[in-house]
Amino acid sequence: MAGSDFTQIEIVLRRLALQAGRAIMEIYERPDFEVRLKGDASPLTEADEAADRLISAGLRAAFPDIALVTEEQAESHGVQADKFFIVDPLDGTKEFIQRRGDFTVNIALVQDGVPIRGVVYAPAKGRMFYTTADGRAVEEQGPFDPETPGVLAPMQMRAPDMAALVVVASKSHRDQATDDYIARYSVADMRSAGSSLKFCLLAAGEADLYPRLGRTMEWDTAAGHAVLQAAGGEVLDFDTHTPLLYGKPGYGNPFFIARHPQIALV
């Protein structure tokens, strides 16, 4: 894995995402698996926990001096640092439980409020997106060997057609406010996707705009945000139209808009 595309960060994040994906799929392919509710009534499965253990141990071993925030470890949610990893070991647990396949492993590195590295792996979809050391966004073609990358396809947002936008929205969290906002634009097509795949569809040039008028946490968005940013996109606070930043107290996000910078907000 030599070359300008990979440093230790890229090597480790990619390998841990693949290993977590394998652990998740072993549970996903069982006829049944355990599901319980967390304190906020969101679902938790053995796959969330298995992936979290694997990723957390790997990051702490490889980068002991970099802080770690992960969804499944409440004690990490009080961490405040200028530089930190932020992890959602299984983003899209509802999709996982309903066996819809739109779930991802999200690992990101944040520096001074900005996600500067990220990997998003959708093991059931066979798609993996990440940032490289030279600042590009790529989608890796399989077979996803943990030690040797496959062919890397560069990702770049397409130039938007304001008269015929493709908008992507959540499968599980679509609401009237979101539909009302989307109706302000000239939309040629709507796509739905779960988890952080929505950011990656924009980055891959498969969609132009993703508004989110609902609650998210930083671990839901950081990895996808990093990929989209490296592909020429941006993520803005819905109300202020300023860049979405990370490391906020409690790690909650405001409503936001992910877009190509040429799209005029309305």
pLDDT tens-digit profile of 49-75?
999 999 999 999 999 999 999 999 999
Distance CA(89)–CA(28), nearest Å, equals 14
Rounded mean pLDDT of 177-201? 92
Q: Are residues 105 and 235 in the same domain?
A: no
Predicted confidence at residue 172, as pLDDT, reads 62
Residue pLDDT, tens place only, 197-225: 999 999 999 999 999 999 999 999 999 99
Residue 181: pLDDT over 50:
yes
pLDDT of res. 173: 65
| Cα–Cα dist 70/73, whole Å | 6
Distance CA 257, CA 243 (A): 10
Residues 50 and 140 in one domain: yes
SS3 of the chain: the string is: CCCCCCCHHHHHHHHHHHHHHHHHHHHHCCCCCCEEECCCCCEEEHHHHHHHHHHHHHHHHHCCCCEEEECCCHHHHHCCCCEEEEEEEEECHHHHHCCCCCCEEEEEEEECCEEEEEEEEECCCCEEEEECCCCCEEEECCCCCCCCCCCEEEECCCCCCCCCEEEEEECCCCCHHHHHHHCCCCEEEEEEECCCHHHHHHHCCCCCEEEECCCCEHHHHHHHHHHHHHCCCEEEECCCCCECCCCCHHHECCCEEEECCCCCCC
Same domain, 113 and 198: no
Would you state the structure tokens that stand for residue 134, as one six-digit string? 């030279």
Task: Say yes or no: 147 and 169 in one domain.
Answer: no
Q: Is the pLDDT of residue 41 over 90?
A: no
Helix axis angle for 46-62 and 8-28, nearest 10°, is: 160
- Residue 18 forms part of a structural domain: yes
Residue 177 corresponds to which amino acid? A
pLDDT computed for residue 1 by the predictor: 41
Predicted local confidence at residue 171, as pLDDT: 63
pTM listed for this prediction: 0.95
Domain's final residue, options 115, 137, 155 = 155
In a domain, 1, yes or no: no
Report whether pLDDT(142) > 60. yes
Structural domain harbouring 100: 8-155
Do 13 and 131 have their domain in common? yes
User: For residue 208, which of 242, 170, 243, 158 has the smallest C-alpha distance?
Assistant: 158
- Specify the higher pLDDT residue, 228 or 142: 228
Domain boundary residue, one of 112, 130, 155: 155
Instruction: Name the domain boundary from 155, 186, 215.
Output: 155
Decide if pLDDT at 4 tops 70. Answer: no
Same domain? 149 vs 169:
no
Supply the pLDDT for residue 9.
Answer: 96
- Is 49 inside any structural domain? yes
Q: How many domains does the chain have?
A: 2
Same domain, 139 and 177: no
**Residue 187 is part of a domain; what is its CATH number?**
3.40.190.80
**Are residues 136 and 179 part of one domain?**
no
Find the mean pLDDT for residues 105-120. Answer: 98
- Mean pLDDT within 13-40: 93
Q: What is the pLDDT of residue 2?
A: 41
Q: Is the pLDDT of residue 3 over 60?
A: no
> Tokens standing for 154?
């560069």
Same domain, 238 and 130: no
Residue 245 in any domain: the answer is yes
